[in-house]
């Protein structure tokens, strides 16, 4: 087990704009993170690369120095009040868990959800926390209006691995019970089986355990993702994994010559999960998003035509516009010069949300065929 910080510090971070524009290639264009840093301490967290922008490290500092965005709700209402805002999908929790423990004190998410609902803006939430149930009333209201989705991250249901990989998170069984409550309330909620760790959680038994429990607890979808290591993340993740499974490090260095695992490995694991989803009655892709109860709303100020607002986005995309793994709308057109859209501020700081680091090394994961044959295939 790696050393844990003895004391957690919370610092205010001035916030002028809460909505961040994410780079191309992501299945959404806008994100919100009310905090920076995370006390969950997941050893594989890709968001560790965001702390060095603040002069801190991505290891213990990321887990123990948490920034709370001051004036977050007020900043969001200003963003949503802009005439250019077209009520596009906003992803909450892309670089930090919005329901980590400090949320119980500051309650930023209630104000954020209230602002999004009032602005008829659809959103998704990604979390490992059962605290999301506190805002069940707002999630029900959002479902009836512009729409919302809750993604519960459950990479393993093995209690031993959970303690070693995610020491600050609720037990996976608690997350599954939260999933069931959300589904019983009519919320579109499912499981993110991510990240899948080569040699640790990629064998059939581990994968099937998560898929089976997701199906039993009524998940509307299950999305798998293999571990990826962007710049500024590898130097923290590799030592943490070495403490857990030092015997696997030669394999990790062979598989991860770039940000992503070798394509042949990644595709084989995803195919394995897709087969398990069929076996346990989960849709191979996320089901069609239900239309909200409210009629469509046009963007203010004539900024674009009237569109039907679906539960995960402003329009129901055609099949060719949907990412085949996430079943989310494909990335939109490139931003105008300067990275802004009709005057909406880009965000707080360079490299925010860790999204910029995901663009670098995008093409480095490929491994020549002659080298693929020599690589092991964990969990086969």
Question: pLDDT band at residue 279, thresholds of 50, 70 and 90?
Answer: very high
Residue with tokens 């910029």: 356
Q: What residue numbers bound the domain in which 114 lies?
A: 20-31+74-328
Can you give the pLDDT at residue 185? Answer: 98
Q: Helix, strand, or coil here: 237?
A: helix
> Using CA atoms, how far apart are residues 209 and 99, in angstroms rounded to an integer?
25
DSSP state letters, 340-371: -BTTB---SSTTGGGHHHHHTTTTTT---HHH
> Using CA atoms, how far apart are residues 307 and 31, in angstroms rounded to an integer?
21
Bridge partners (DSSP) of residue 152 are: 127, 191
Residue 48 inside a domain? The answer is no
- Helix, strand, coil abundance in the chain, percent, nearest 5: 40, 15, 50
* Length reported for the chain: 380
The lowest-confidence range among 68-82, 146-160, 323-337 is 323-337
Query: Mind listing the pLDDT tens digit for each residue in 60-72?
Result: 899 999 999 999 9
Rounded mean pLDDT of the chain? 80
For the chain, what is the domain count? 1
Residue 57 inside a domain? The answer is no
Neighbours of 65 (CB within 10 A): 18
CATH of the domain at 86: 3.80.30.30
Query: Mind listing the pLDDT tens digit for each residue in 169-215?
Result: 999 999 999 999 999 999 999 999 999 999 999 999 999 999 999 99
Q: Region 238-262: what's the mean pLDDT?
A: 95
Q: Helix, strand, or coil here: 190?
A: strand
Find, among 63, 99, 84, 100, the residue nearest to 19 by Cα. Answer: 84
Q: Looking at the predicted structure, is the pLDDT value of residue 304 above 70?
A: no
Residue 65 inside a domain? The answer is no
Tell me the angle at which helices 204-216 and 263-279 cross, rounded to the nearest 10 degrees: 40
Q: Give φ, ψ of 233 to 5 degrees.
A: -110, -40
Beta strands in the chain (DSSP E): 9-14, 20-21, 30-32, 35-36, 65-70, 90-92, 123-127, 148-153, 188-196, 222-226
Q: Region 35-40: what's the mean pLDDT?
A: 94
Residue 365 inside a domain? The answer is no
Structure-derived torsion over alpha carbons of residues 96, 235, 52, 8, reported in degrees to the nearest 10? 60
Q: Looking at the predicted structure, is the pLDDT value of residue 309 above 60?
A: no
Q: Looking at the predicted structure, is the pLDDT value of residue 235 above 80?
A: yes
Q: Helix, strand, or coil here: 125?
A: strand
Can you give the pLDDT at residue 4? Answer: 52
Q: Are strands 188-196 and 222-226 parallel, antiparallel or unpaired?
A: parallel
Query: Mind listing the pLDDT tens digit for each residue in 203-216?
Result: 999 999 999 999 99
> Using CA atoms, how far apart are residues 363 and 348, in angstroms rounded to an integer?
28
Question: pLDDT band at residue 334, thresholds of 50, 70 and 90?
Answer: very low
Find, among 74, 45, 75, 73, the residue nearest to 60 by Cα. Answer: 45
User: Model's pTM, two decimal places?
Assistant: 0.76
Q: Could you give the strand order of the β-sheet that contains 148-153, starting from the edge strand earlier in sequence?
A: 20-21, 30-32, 90-92, 123-127, 148-153, 188-196, 222-226
Residue 214 inside a domain? The answer is yes
Residue 317 inside a domain? The answer is yes
Residue 340 inside a domain? The answer is no
Residue 50 inside a domain? The answer is no
Residue with tokens 């996976």: 172
Q: Looking at the predicted structure, is the pLDDT value of residue 290 above 70?
A: no
Can you give the pLDDT at residue 292? Answer: 57
311 vs 173, higher pLDDT:
173
For residue 126, what are its two tokens? Answer: 């990604």
For residue 344, what are its two tokens? Answer: 């909406």
Q: Region 293-298: what's the mean pLDDT?
A: 42
């Amino acid at each position: 087990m790696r050393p844990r910080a003895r004391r957690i510090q919370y610092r205010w971070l001035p916030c002028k704009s809460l909505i961040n524009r994410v780079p191309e290639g992501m299945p959404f264009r806008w994100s919100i993170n009310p905090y920076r840093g995370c006390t969950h301490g997941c050893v594989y967290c890709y968001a560790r690369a965001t702390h060095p922008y603040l002069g801190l490290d991505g290891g213990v500092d990321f887990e123990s120095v948490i920034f709370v965005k001051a004036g977050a709700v007020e900043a969001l209402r200003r963003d949503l009040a802009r005439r250019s805002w077209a009520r596009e999908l906003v992803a909450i929790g892309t670089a930090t868990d919005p329901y980590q423990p400090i949320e119980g004190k500051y309650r930023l998410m209630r104000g954020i959800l209230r602002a999004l609902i009032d602005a008829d803006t659809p959103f998704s939430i990604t979390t490992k926390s059962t605290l999301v149930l506190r805002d069940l009333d707002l999630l029900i209201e959002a479902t009836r209006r512009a729409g919302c989705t809750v993604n519960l991250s459950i990479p393993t249901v093995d209690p031993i691995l959970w303690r070693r990989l995610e020491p600050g998170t609720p037990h996976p069984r608690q997350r599954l019970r939260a999933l069931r409550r959300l589904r019983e309330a009519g919320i579109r909620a499912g499981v993110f089986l991510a990240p899948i760790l080569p040699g640790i959680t990629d064998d059939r038994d581990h994968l099937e355990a998560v898929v089976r429990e997701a199906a039993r607890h009524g998940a509307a979808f299950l999305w798998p993702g293999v571990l990826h290591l962007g710049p500024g993340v590898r130097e923290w993740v590799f030592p943490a994994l070495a403490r857990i499974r030092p015997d696997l490090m030669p394999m990790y260095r062979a598989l991860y010559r770039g940000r992503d695992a070798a394509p042949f490995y990644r595709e084989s694991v995803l195919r394995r999960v897709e087969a398990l989803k069929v076996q346990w009655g989960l849709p191979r892709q996320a089901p069609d998003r239900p239309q909200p109860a409210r009629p469509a709303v046009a963007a203010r100020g004539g900024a674009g035509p009237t569109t039907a607002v679906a539960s995960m986005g402003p329009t129901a995309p055609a099949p060719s516009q949907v990412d085949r793994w996430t079943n989310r709308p494909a990335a939109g057109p490139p931003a105008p010069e300067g990275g802004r859209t009709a005057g909406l501020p880009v965000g707080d700081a360079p490299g925010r949300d860790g999204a910029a680091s995901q663009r670098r090394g995008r093409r480095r994961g490929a491994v020549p065929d002659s080298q693929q044959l020599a690589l092991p295939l964990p969990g086969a």
